[in-house]
Amino acid sequence: MKTIKLFFTLAFFTTTALAQSHNHSYQYTIDLLNIQDDQVTVSFSPPKNKLEQGKFVIPKMVPGYYDAMNFGQYISDFSAFDKTGKKILTERLDQNSWMVHDLKNVAKISYQVADGWDSLQQNTRGAKSAASTFIQDSVFVINYNSLAGYFQEMNNLPYKINIKKNKDFYASSALNYILKNDSTDIFSVKNYRELVDAPVLYCIPDTTWIKVGNAEILISFYNKEERHYSKKIADELETILKNQQSYLGGKLPVDKYAFLIYYESSKENGLMGDGLEHAQSTVCLYNSSSINYLPNALISVASHEFFHIVTPLNIHSKEIENYDFLNPTLSKHLWLYEGMTEYATIHMPIKQKMISLKEFARKIEEKTHGMEAFDNKLSFTNLSKNAVERQDQYMNFYQKGALLGLCLDIKLRELSDGKIGTQELVQRLMKKYGKGKYFNDDALFDEIAAMTFPKIRTFFTDYMEGGDPIPLKECLAKVGFEYDETTKKINLINNPNAQQLALRKAWINQ
Ligand SMILES: [Zn+2]
């Protein structure tokens, strides 16, 4: 999608093209130095225009989350001024939008932004990895969807962002931040979508770079107490990423990637992890009673988010390519975006011989237990379209969705004498739809059938469009596993036949 090309474009953009586009871009200033009441002051001059009025939007939703998060809720004191400093009339239309009158004469707009979470343990609604937090003198986790917006009438223009910050703070991001002076960073993007796609972690740096294949990977870590931990995480991640690389056919589809990891210790037992994927970075938030849980937790959250570089970031429908931040239309294919991503996350470790058959069987059992909490008769394509309304069922994409990925993988292997599984399917889809191309939501199942086997179409009709019970027992039997539907236990069959062994070998390399 937006890989190396994006990077070169950006580097070029900051040095040359920006000067010419000065009047045709949003020029933002974000002040991280003077925080008051936990609020950051943001101001910008709009692009040159001839508009009588304009509708300013802060996202209701962002790609990757299927729930209305209403980032406008964090905005207050929204004011517009002309070049003499005189106020110009603005009206708040709803939680996420404002009408700005006499827009052609507006020289500056300013507002205050409150943070979305002070602590990961706070039980506030909405996923924190899409919101921002400001802890003066320590750390800023910034998702631009909660700090910057756009005018609907001018929604595909460049941004130039100035950030005033503590001189000891370093900006960890997939973008190139340029030091303008001691306490100001600047960077540019070609449009709002790119801005939202590149979060930043600002703090005294604890960073490690590693190289995996062609990709330069930044690991940036923040914890209040532990300030030298990125190296340890980088060692863990390097193993995971190298295995992900071979799983993805030997080459990572990115040249630069940033893991922005924020960790908070808590008194409560256990671990909480939340992550949001982007084209060239991911924000991972963790909280646990001991930092020792962290390396292990990485394999699920960071690995899942990184696999998203395949889908939806490289393979997606029109609904995602032309994302509407105020009223998005959702795609039918969350089974692909979240289900298949989660399936790759559990399938990769066994395929790459990182875990034992027993451990793999336990992983599948966790998913079968997980899906019991949901209504498994619902059509997955309908559920996907209505994910915002059906938040009660949404998490099943990570449970039943992953298991449907597993069944699809085995069915494809069976039809192809072991040669084609979901890994190969995804490669074919990336070839056809990667880098700025998109598929038609209604045509995807037929396309997959055309590029693999016509027979596989019924799998989608029965289990994705329809709500037939998942054929897990039948599929696992084909690869020599016994699934007891009453106890939900999964065990190896005692005397598997040659066919079962061959299919298992093709499927998980064991
Ligand atoms: Zn995901």
Strands 256-265 and 215-222: parallel
What fold characterizes domain 206-309?
A: Neutral Protease; domain 2 (1.10.390)
Report DSSP state, residue 292: G
pLDDT band at 12 (very low <50, low <70, confident <90, very high): very low
Q: What is the CATH code for 310-510? A: 1.10.390.10
Q: What is the pLDDT of residues 310-350, one digit of tens each?
A: 988 889 998 888 899 999 999 999 999 999 999 999 999 99
CA of 308 to the centre of ligand 1 (A): 7
Q: Which residue has the tokens 């003066």?
A: 136
Closest Cα partner for 184 from 33, 63, 4, 13? 33
8 Å CB contact between 280 and 260: no
Is 181 in a helix, a strand, or coil? strand
Which residues lie closer than 8 Å to 17 by C-beta, 6 or more apart? none
Q: Which amino acid is at 116?
A: G
Q: What is the pLDDT of residues 161-179, one digit of tens each?
A: 999 999 999 999 999 999 9
pLDDT band at 8 (very low <50, low <70, confident <90, very high): very low
**Distance between CA atoms of 226 and 370, rounded to whole angstroms?**
34
Distances (CA, A) of 151 to 57, 88, 156, 469: 6, 16, 9, 46
8 Å CB contact between 415 and 454: no
Q: Count other Cβ atoms within 10 Å, centred on residue 19.
A: 7
pLDDT at 126: 60
Q: What is the pLDDT of residues 82-141, one digit of tens each?
A: 999 999 999 999 999 999 999 999 999 999 999 998 788 766 556 788 999 999 889 999
CA of 430 to the centre of ligand 1 (A): 18
**Distance between CA atoms of 143 and 146, rounded to whole angstroms?**
6
CA of 362 to the centre of ligand 1 (A): 21
Which residue intervals of the chain bear CATH 1.10.390.10? 206-309, 310-510
pLDDT at 125: 55
CA of 249 to the centre of ligand 1 (A): 21
CA of 340 to the centre of ligand 1 (A): 9
Radius of gyration of the chain (CA): 24
Q: What is the pLDDT of residues 222-241, one digit of tens each?
A: 999 999 999 999 999 999 99
pLDDT at 301: 83
Q: What is the pLDDT of residues 174-205, one digit of tens each?
A: 999 999 999 999 999 999 999 999 999 999 99
CATH architecture, domain defined by 4-201: Sandwich (2.60)
Q: Which residue has the tokens 């996202």?
A: 59
Percent of the chain having pLDDT more than 90? 81
**30 φ/ψ angles, rounded to the nearest 5 degrees:** -120, 125
Closest Cα partner for 134 from 30, 229, 62, 233? 30
Strands 39-45 and 26-36: antiparallel
CA of 328 to the centre of ligand 1 (A): 18
8 Å CB contact between 368 and 305: no
| C-alpha neighbours within 13 Å on the C-beta side of residue 495 | 0
Which residues lie closer than 8 Å to 20 by C-beta, 6 or more apart? none
Q: Please state, rounded to an integer, the average pLDDT across all residues of the chain.
A: 91
CA of 459 to the centre of ligand 1 (A): 23
CA of 331 to the centre of ligand 1 (A): 15
pLDDT at 123: 64
CA of 203 to the centre of ligand 1 (A): 26
**Distance between CA atoms of 165 and 390, rounded to whole angstroms?**
41
CA of 15 to the centre of ligand 1 (A): 35
pLDDT at 412: 98
CA of 215 to the centre of ligand 1 (A): 21
Residues paired with residue 301 on neighbouring β-strands, in sequence order: none
Asked if residue 153 has pLDDT above 80, the reply is yes
